[in-house]
């Protein structure tokens, strides 16, 4: 599918405004999600080979996940599994509904295979999102792979009330997903990244875990709660977050969110895009996100699971993240540039390379670059 997508489909999509193309694609996938025939057909074409991973008490059919931001409204929940993803992270979701930042707010740096966005957590709010997920669960369309939800802070909520805001969202959504990601690292909500400060994050996690331990949780099961960090943090700041892992039962780290830094480029069109405010994702982020993963793995002796995100376009990119310490990886910009076959292609590439190198278990690969 790679060549037809890049030569035929992508030029048509890239001729449109980036957000409009995204919304158009999601409408098609949402329609397919409501049809068993369409989902089965997609699965027959794009299903990925088995490469199982067990993490957080969950079983992932393969380590390739869909990153948050692609399906903000739970519009196409059933189709991601059919496209070969081993899990998906929906949202970001905030307690209050919000429109996000003014348009235009998403831009492609095509030559550099990057995207700059300043979406601003546009979503229907946690309660509407919960009803949407409940409807999918009541249908026969709920996927068998793990589902995560990305939680953000409402823009109108002051920082001193952030813990309550996050906890409210978690409370109404906790029985509708398998794991949750606390997003305090988006650059597109004013002052949000201040919540990566140890004391502020500690307060947020304490409020969420109090809800997590509530007797009202489904079957009394506590859900894994992860934290998503920015690539722009210093290692010292990262270490402070890691100090909360035990006291606040952090299940893992998602590394990383988008970056506010900009790469050097010789492409005039990309230079223009890089003047736009917002977070940058895609290939220019690959190296820094891998550095963050490697640091976290080393500092925690590999005991704190990591989901690696940033610049993953190929099996080689995924391999790099895994040997640096990532147990799972997620795709966003790679899907935009490489097309719907990316999860199948990356999983297949990992399986082939593991066979070539005599590696029978993916677990042995995780952090192997640091074990030499």
Place of tokens 């140890």: 198
DSSP β-ladder status, 53-55 and 58-60: antiparallel
Reference 80, options 37, 142, 20; nearest CA is 142
Could you give the residue numbers annotated as active site?
A: 186
Q: Rounded to 10 degrees, what is the CA torsion of 188, 189, 195, 196?
A: -10
Measured CA to CA, the distance from residue 242 to residue 185 in angstroms comes to 15
Asked whether the beta carbons of 243 and 152 are under 8 A apart, the reply is: no
Phi, psi for residue 329 in degrees, rounded to 5 = -135, 165
What is the three-class DSSP state of 227? strand
Phi, psi for residue 250 in degrees, rounded to 5 = -65, 125
Q: Give first-to-last CA distance, the chain, whole Å.
A: 37
Phi, psi for residue 185 in degrees, rounded to 5 = -125, 5
């Amino acid at each position: 599918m790679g060549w037809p997508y890049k030569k035929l489909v992508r030029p048509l999509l890239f001729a449109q405004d980036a957000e409009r193309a995204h919304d158009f694609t999601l409408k098609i996938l949402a329609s397919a999600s409501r049809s068993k025939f369409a989902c089965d057909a997609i699965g027959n074409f794009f299903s990925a080979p088995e490469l199982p991973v067990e993490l957080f008490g969950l079983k992932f059919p393969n380590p390739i996940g869909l990153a948050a931001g692609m399906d903000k409204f739970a519009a196409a929940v059933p189709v991601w599994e059919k496209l070969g993803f081993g899990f998906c992270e929906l949202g970001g979701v905030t307690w209050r509904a919000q429109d996000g930042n003014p348009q235009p707010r998403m831009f492609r740096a095509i030559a550099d295979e990057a995207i700059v966005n300043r979406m601003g957590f546009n979503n229907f709010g946690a309660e509407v999102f919960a009803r949407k997920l409940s409807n999918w669960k009541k249908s026969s369309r709920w996927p068998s792979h793990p589902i995560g939800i990305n939680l953000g802070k409402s823009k109108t909520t002051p920082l001193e009330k952030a813990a309550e805001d996050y906890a409210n969202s978690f409370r109404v959504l906790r029985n509708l997903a398998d794991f949750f990601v606390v997003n305090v690292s988006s650059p597109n909500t004013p002052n949000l990244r201040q919540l990566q400060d140890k004391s502020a994050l500690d307060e947020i996690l304490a409020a969420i875990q109090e809800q997590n331990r509530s007797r009202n949780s489904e079957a009394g099961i506590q859900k894994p709660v992860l934290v998503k960090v920015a690539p722009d943090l210093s290692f010292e700041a990262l270490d402070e977050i890691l100090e909360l892992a035990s006291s606040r039962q952090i299940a893992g780290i998602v590394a990383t969110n988008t970056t506010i830094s900009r790469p050097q480029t010789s492409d005039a069109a990309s230079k223009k895009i890089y003047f736009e405010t917002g977070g940058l994702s895609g290939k220019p982020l690959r190296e820094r996100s891998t550095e963050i993963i490697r640091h976290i793995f080393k500092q925690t002796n590999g005991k704190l699971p990591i989901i690696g995100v940033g610049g993953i376009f190929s099996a080689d990119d995924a391999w790099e993240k895994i040997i640096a310490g990532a147990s799972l990886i997620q795709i966003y910009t790679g899907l935009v540039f490489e097309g719907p076959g990316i999860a199948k292609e990356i999983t297949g590439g990992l399986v082939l390379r593991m066979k070539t190198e005599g590696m029978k278990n993916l677990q042995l690969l995780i952090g192997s670059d640091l074990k030499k």
